[in-house]
Amino acid sequence: MDEPAGPFVGGFFALRTTAPPEGAYRPLALLYAGESAPLTARIDTVADRLRTSERRVAASVAHLGLAARLWSVALGPAALTGHLPGLSPDALHWDPGHTAPEDLWLSTSDTLPATADRIREAVQFGHLVPLAEAIHRDGPLSNRLLWGNAGSALAGALRELVAWARSHGRPDVSARARALVAELFDHPDLRNTGAPHDTAFRRRSCCLYYRCPAGGLCGDCVFESV
Q: Strand pairing partners for 92? A: 106
DSSP result, 149-182: HHHHHHHHHHHHHHHHHHHTT-HHHHHHHHHHHH
pLDDT of residue 100: 67
What integer pLDDT is reported at residue 99 of this predicted model?
66
Report the DSSP beta bridge partners of residue 187.
none
Contact 193, 205 (CB under 8 A): yes
Tens of pLDDT along the chain (226 residues) come to 444 444 678 888 988 888 877 778 899 999 999 999 989 999 999 999 999 999 999 999 999 999 999 999 999 999 999 999 999 999 999 988 876 677 899 999 999 999 999 999 999 999 999 999 999 999 889 999 999 999 999 999 999 999 999 999 999 999 999 999 999 999 999 999 999 999 999 999 999 989 998 888 888 888 864 4
Question: By the 8 A CB rule, do 158 and 177 touch?
Answer: yes
**What contacts 121, CB < 8 A, 6 or more positions away?**
none
User: Cα–chain-centroid distance for residue 38?
Assistant: 17
Give the whole-angstrom CA distance, residue 28 versus residue 180: 25
What pLDDT, on a 0 to 100 scale, did the predictor assign at position 174?
97
Secondary structure (3-state) at 113: strand
For residues 138 and 125, give the distance between their C-alpha atoms in angstroms, rounded to a whole number. Answer: 20
Output the pLDDT for position 214: 82
Quickly count: other Cβ atoms within 10 Å of residue 34's Cβ: 9
How far is it, in rounded angstroms, from Cα 61 to Cα 54? Answer: 11
Using N-to-C axis directions, what is the helix angle for 37-50 and 129-138, rounded to 10°? 70
